[in-house]
């Protein structure tokens, strides 16, 4: 369980008590430095590092970094909002010791996610991890709810020897094929070993559909830890790949055509140790609250897209009949509906039942994505929102009248379309607060403007290697 307490100047007492022991242990294992990681509004993971001996200082007083990164674009240009994007000011990065881990794929390094607070010791309203911590704590306080979450990671494996900027797939053979598994057998075995050494339990790792594509799914955690893990998993996948002469891309669309890389988000609500998505009176064993939670997410999906699919490249992926879930519809185990209700197998429903949100990719800041999806679901519970009729099959087959009758809408087809929906969505804006909401709007509009004159192939190339 992630600590939900804010960092404090001087250090959280529990951290101060254990940091010397952790530092000695890391040093004994040959760890020279700690990577302090967070994800910016654009979805890029930014880092600072400190020598291992400075961990205690970092835990006590944080490490400096400018707030300007909150309005960085993926190409490192900068946009502004009323309060962000200026060269003034500084923030302190505080590592979360509960999530600190020695990196098996990068010998000599450990890794920890950070929260960012001001030099005055106040929480920074642009900190996405703080936003998610607050959202989770608020759900516990107001609704007595806890969550279990996981983010699937898909990536394309290319040759590091490819010409700069280009993607040359590192495997041949059909989708999900044994050929691919054999060809990348050394890499994937080292990857499993690295996850194991880092305490990341892997559910599955398999060759996927698109050229060079693989997928890993890992066990569910509380939402903050699940977001942390998705960042750690990508750092690990990249580091191990590099040691094998491989280069990986998590971009939603490595190329402009075909199936992209998703980052499907799995989420379940729990109260007093019971899963609200199993054993209930409603459809597929859902409780009334689980249905309303799903309905809340479904109702806000067009606006959520600005958070869950934040890159111009996201809209190359978000196309019908590619398993990316581009219609506001839900169904049991329906892989073309944006919301897939997973019941789990008979005998395992209590543990396994959850919701899968599909129009999410790995350009999304996982803290913002989880926090906003949870906020949408909680709004559904608060309003006792009814869940519409479920669908089966691919909603792409519906004509306009049938789609309208079923309340099935195509999700925004461009980043600017998503921003329009997001700007009109009071629930999401209120949940994020004005600083983060304005950062999301400004960064998305900045990304859209940056690619205005580019064709699809150039958009894919522009974002291929940044996430
Ligand atoms: N690659 C698909 C996507 O872009 C997902 C495939 C799957 O269902 O795992 O979301
Ligand atoms: Mg997949």
CA 347 – ligand 1 centroid, Å: 27
Number of domains composing the chain? 2
Structural domain harbouring 268: 137-463
CATH of the domain at 155: 3.30.590.10
Same domain, 363 and 268: yes
**pLDDT single digits (tens) 438-464:** 999 999 999 999 999 999 999 999 999
* Structural domain contains residue 129: no
Ligand 1 centre from 22 Cα, in Å? 39
322 CA to middle of ligand 1, Å? Answer: 7
> How many Å separate Cα 433 from the centre of its chain?
19
From the CB of 379, is ligand 1 less than 6 Å away?
no
Q: Specify whether 189 is located in the same domain as 319.
A: yes
Diameter over CA atoms, the chain = 67
Q: Are 466 and 44 in contact (CB under 8 A)?
A: yes
* 333, part of any domain: yes
Digit-coded pLDDT (tens) for 385-406: 999 999 999 999 999 999 999 9
pLDDT, mean of residues 127-149: 97
Instruction: Count the neighbouring beta carbons within 10 Å of the beta carbon of residue 104.
Output: 20
Same domain? 207 vs 108: no
Q: Is the pLDDT confidence value at 1 over 90? A: no
pLDDT tier, 2 (very low <50, low <70, confident <90, very high otherwise): low
331-335 long-range contacts, CB within 8 A, separation 24+? 331/390, 331/391, 331/392, 332/284, 332/390, 334/390, 334/391, 334/392, 334/393
Tell me the β-bridge partners of 101.
Answer: 111
Taking the C-alpha atoms of residue 150 and residue 268, their distance in angstroms, rounded to an integer, is 10
Do 428 and 375 meet the contact criterion of CB atoms below 8 Å apart? yes
Percent of the chain whose predicted confidence (pLDDT) is above 90: 99
- Ligand 1 atom index nearest CA of 154: 1
The residue among 46, 35, 148 whose CA lies nearest residue 101 is 35
Tell me how far the alpha carbon of residue 368 lies from the centroid of ligand 1, in angstroms.
Answer: 21
Average pLDDT over residues 254-281: 97
Q: pTM for the whole thing?
A: 0.98
Q: Would residue 4 count as lying in a domain?
A: no
Closest atom of ligand 1 to 209 CA is 1
CB atoms within 10 A of CB 89: 13
Indicate the residue among 124, 154, 187 that finishes a domain.
124
Which uninterrupted H or E stretch holds 202?
strand 202-207
Which ligand 1 atom is the nearest neighbour of the CA of 325?
10
By most ligand atoms within 8 Å of CB, the mutation choice from 250, 252, 261, 319 for ligand 1 is 261
Amino acid 5: pLDDT = 82
The answer as to whether 410 is a domain residue is yes
Answer whether 324 contacts ligand 1 (Cβ < 6 A): yes
Could you tell me if 356 and 424 lie in one domain?
Answer: yes
Secondary structure letter of residue 79 according to DSSP: -
Q: Assess whether 98 and 146 both reside in one domain.
A: no
106 and 143 part of one domain: no
The CA distance from 31 to 50, in Å, is 11
Alpha helix (H) ranges present in 8-54?
13-28
Say how far apart CA 405 and CA 288 lie, in whole Å: 24
Q: Is the pLDDT of residue 114 over 90?
A: yes
Is 302 contained in some domain? yes
Domain CATH code at residue 18:
3.10.20.70
Q: 313 with 449, same domain?
A: yes
pLDDT tens-digit series, residues 60-101:
999 999 999 999 999 999 999 999 999 999 999 999 999 999
Same domain for 141 and 120? no
Output the pLDDT for position 3.
Answer: 64
How many C-beta atoms lie closer than 10 Å to residue 56's C-beta? Answer: 16
Ligand 1 pocket: which of 152, 175, 205, 209 to mutate (most atoms within 8 A of CB): 209
Q: Is residue 407 part of a domain?
A: yes
Burial of 223 (0-12, 13-18, 19+ CB in 10 A): buried
Q: Which of 323, 337, 362, 363 to mutate to test the pocket of ligand 1 (most atoms within 8 A of CB)?
A: 323
194 CA from centroid of ligand 2 (Å): 21
What does the mean pLDDT of the chain come to?
A: 97
Taking only the tens place, the pLDDT of each residue in 406-424 is 999 999 999 999 999 999 9
Distance CA 450, CA 462 (A): 10
Q: Are residue 141 and residue 211 in the same domain, yes or no?
A: yes
Residue-wise pLDDT for 154-178, tens only, equals 999 999 999 999 999 999 999 999 9
Q: Are 109 and 152 members of one domain?
A: no
Which of 73, 91, 124 represents a domain boundary (last residue)?
Answer: 124
Claim to verify: residue 285 and residue 213 sit in the same structural domain:
yes
C-alpha span between 112 and 55 (Å, rounded): 11
Predicted confidence (pLDDT) at residue 230 exceeds the cutoff of 80: yes
Helix 366-382 crosses helix 288-308 at what angle (to 10 degrees)?
140
> Both 381 and 243 in a single domain?
yes
Q: What's the rounded mean pLDDT across residues 209-223?
A: 97
Query: For a substitution probing ligand 1, which of 153, 205, 208 has the most ligand atoms within 8 Å of its CB?
Result: 208
Residue holding tokens 């600083």? 435
Q: Is residue 216 part of a domain?
A: yes
- Residue 4 confidence (pLDDT): 67
Query: Does any ligand 1 atom lie closer than 6 A to the CB of residue 260?
Result: yes
Q: How far is the CA of 259 from the centre of ligand 1 (A)?
A: 7
Answer whether residue 8 is part of any domain. no
Q: How far, in Å, is the centroid of ligand 1 from the Cα of 53?
A: 42
Give the distance (Å) from ligand 1 centre to CA of residue 335. Answer: 9
């Amino acid at each position: 369980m992630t600590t939900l307490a804010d960092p404090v100047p001087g250090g959280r007492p529990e951290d101060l008590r254990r940091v010397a022991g952790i530092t000695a242990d890391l040093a004994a294992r040959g760890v020279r430095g700690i990577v302090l990681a967070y994800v910016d509004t654009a979805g890029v993971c930014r880092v600072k590092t400190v020598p291992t001996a400075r961990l205690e200082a970092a835990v006590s007083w944080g490490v400096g970094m400018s707030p300007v990164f909150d309005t960085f674009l993926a190409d490192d240009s900068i946009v502004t909002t009323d309060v962000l994007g200026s060269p003034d000011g500084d923030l302190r990065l505080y590592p979360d010791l509960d999530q600190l881990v020695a990196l098996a794929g990068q010998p000599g390094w450990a890794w920890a996610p950070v929260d960012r607070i001001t030099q005055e010791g106040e929480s920074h309203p642009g900190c996405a991890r703080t936003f998610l911590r607050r959202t989770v704590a608020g759900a516990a306080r107001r609704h007595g709810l806890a969550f279990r979450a996981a983010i699937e990671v898909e990536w394309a494996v290319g040759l590091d020897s490819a010409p700069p900027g280009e993607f040359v797939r590192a495997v041949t053979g059909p989708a999900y094929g044994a050929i691919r598994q054999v060809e990348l057998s050394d890499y994937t075995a080292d990857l499993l070993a690295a996850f194991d050494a880092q305490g990341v339990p892997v559910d599955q790792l398999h060759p996927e559909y698109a050229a060079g594509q693989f997928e890993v799914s890992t066990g569910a955690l509380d939402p903050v830890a699940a977001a942390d893990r998705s960042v750690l998993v990508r750092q690990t996948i990249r580091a191990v790949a590099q040691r094998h002469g491989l280069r990986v891309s998590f971009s939603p669309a490595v190329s402009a055509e075909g199936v992209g890389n998703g980052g499907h988000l799995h989420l379940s609500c729990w109260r007093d140790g019971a899963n609200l998505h199993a054993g209930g009176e409603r459809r597929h064993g859902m409780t009334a609250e689980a249905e309303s939670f799903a309905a809340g997410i479904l109702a806000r999906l067009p606006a959520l897209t600005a958070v869950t699919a934040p890159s111009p490249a996201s809209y190359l992926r978000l196309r019908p009949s590619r398993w990316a879930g581009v219609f506001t519809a839900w169904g049991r185990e329906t892989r073309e509906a944006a919301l897939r209700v997973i019941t789990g197998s008979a005998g395992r429903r209590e543990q396994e039942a959850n919701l899968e949100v599909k129009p999410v990719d790995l350009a999304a800041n996982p803290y913002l994505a989880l926090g906003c999806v949870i906020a949408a679901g909680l709004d559904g519970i608060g309003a006792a929102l009814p869940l519409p009729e479920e669908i089966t099959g691919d909603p792409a087959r519906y004509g306009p009248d049938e789609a309208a009758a079923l309340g099935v809408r195509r999700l925004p087809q461009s980043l600017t379309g998503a921003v329009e929906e997001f700007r009109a969505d009071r629930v999401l804006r209120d949940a994020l607060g004005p600083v983060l909401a304005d950062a999301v709007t400004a960064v998305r509009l900045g990304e859209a403007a940056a690619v205005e004159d580019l064709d699809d192939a150039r958009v894919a190339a522009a974002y291929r290697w940044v996430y």
